[in-house]
Copies of this chain bind each other. A is one copy, B any other.
């Protein structure tokens, strides 16, 4: 699903973000690459289109997107931050072998949250680690 420039502009405006060139490109990249990219991955891709691009701008843009709640920060990787355009409730699974990150649906509504009753919960981050199916099959060869 490609995010046309016009739709991207509208989308940003709707969320109170002035649609600059970089912001539109980053939004489109996130939408086309839902693999929770890092700043570096986004930068390496967009520098092809925008030769004067700086990483600072990527950082600024993602910071703004986080504030406006159109992306989520994924901290499953201890080294660098990843960004997810899918802000709906779901979990992330990281394979210890291939390091791929999988999304998975998770219904947290049934969870017993007695211990933190009366707390305001703004975000639930569910990170699993283990070995994915592909890597398990690989090791059976």
Contacts and interface: CB of A to CB of B under 8 A. Distances in A.
Contacts of A136: 118-120
Contact of A120 (B102, B122, B131): B131
Contacts of A113: 104, 106
A2 interface: no
A93 B108 CA distance: 15
Contact of A122 (B96, B102, B110, B112): B96
A127 interface: yes
A133 B120 CA distance: 8
Interface stretch (A12-20, A41-49, A73-81): A73-81
Nearest to A96: B122
Given A116-B132, A125-B125, 18 more contacts: A75-B127, A76-B125, A104-B116, A105-B114, A106-B113, A108-B111, A110-B111, A116-B128, A119-B130, A119-B131, A120-B136, A121-B129, A122-B129, A122-B131, A123-B128, A124-B126, A126-B127, A127-B127
